[in-house]
Amino acid sequence: MKNILFVCTANICRSPFAEGALKKLLMGKKVAGIKVHSAGVSAVPGLPSPPDAIRIACELGVDITEHLSRPLSPSMVEEADIILAMSLFHREVILEMSPESENKLKLLGSFSKFYGGGEETEIPDPYGLTSFHYRSSFNIIRDCIYNLYKELICD
């Protein structure tokens, strides 16, 4: 079983949306053998996603209503086969926590075909901003998830 971990700051906006979007795609295509979860480098355990994040995610077909935040732990990093961080800062925190994780760690934005997709492409944090910002970030994530999915099934 392949274990995929998405990481952002508080685990209430970007990484839960990425987790939900990939799970939905995998279920829709009936792909088994891939476990998907998310965590935050500064997450307070048990917080729900903000109402705007839930609403925009729902509009985009991803249900994060039941999501509760989880702090990133060394065991999560160790158990993951693929770690996808939202920003360079998150990547640095993960590498400080587990230097040996470098070969399985990428920025999710590197999978974007529409929004740049360079190795250092970050996903903007919409927290506390407008619905436009949530929609923009989540659309970038959807683009990345689709391209990640294509890479996963071609392996």
Please give the DSSP secondary-structure letter assigned to residue 154. H
The active-site residue out of 52, 58, 125, 155 is 125
**Catalytic residue (choose from 8, 70, 91, 144):** 8
- Residue in 14, 70, 91, 142 annotated catalytic: 14
At 53, list the tokens: 């994040």
Residue 89: Cβ-neighbour burial (10 angstroms; 0-12, 13-18, 19+): middle
Q: Is 125 a catalytic site residue?
A: yes
Tokens of 144: 């990345």
Interatomic CA distance for residues 49 and 101, integer angstroms: 28
Token pair belonging to 71: 């702090």
What residues are annotated to the active site? 8, 14, 125
